[in-house]
Amino acid sequence: MDAYEEIENIIAKKFGKDTTSRKSVGDFMLSDNHAVNVKSNNVEKSNYSPNMISIKKMHKWVFEERNDLSFVFVDYRLEAGSIKILEESDLVAIEHIKWECLSIEAQGYGVIQKTGELSVDIKQTKRDFYLGFLSEYQRYREKERKKHDAFASRFITDPDTIDW
């Protein structure tokens, strides 16, 4: 079992729960409509921008189906082949995570990444989070459009000019 799976199991057990399948929205469920993702970070490695969740899964679960999604952030290190948890956050609802520490990057339809120190505002609402999401998604789409336009500019528009 990989370290992240072990940590997911440890955290789920603290809540009296079992972990879910890899395809689920969360690593474990607090209830039928409250998923929890455990994000583990080995402090001895360079994890520059860890993936949190795909925007497609997040949007469907939180905003279309009106469910809850929370995260637990865990810092750990390996000592003599065992996991030593150094720090563990409380449950953090996705809507309380400020966009200043998040970004949407290219993988599939896009993935939310944690790009800086965790910044939480417990007064931030789901609506506030969603407005930030819309702004960040627009930035992501523009960046992707430019990337695709640059690639498309290399296309040979007259295939008859190619010596096949």
Q: For the full predicted model, state whether its pTM sits above 0.85.
A: yes
Domains of the chain, with CATH numbers?
Answer: 3-153 (3.40.600.10)
Predicted local confidence at residue 59, as pLDDT = 97
Residue 57 to residues 64, 81, 142, 152: CA-CA distances in angstroms? 10, 34, 21, 29
Contacts of 164 by beta carbon, 8 Å cutoff, 6+ apart: none
Q: What is the distance between the alpha carbons of residues 37 and 72, in angstroms, rounded to a whole number? A: 6
Q: What's residue 50's pLDDT?
A: 80
Q: Which segments in the chain show pLDDT lower than 70?
A: 1, 47-48
Determine the pLDDT at residue 30: 96
Query: How much is the pLDDT for 158?
Result: 83
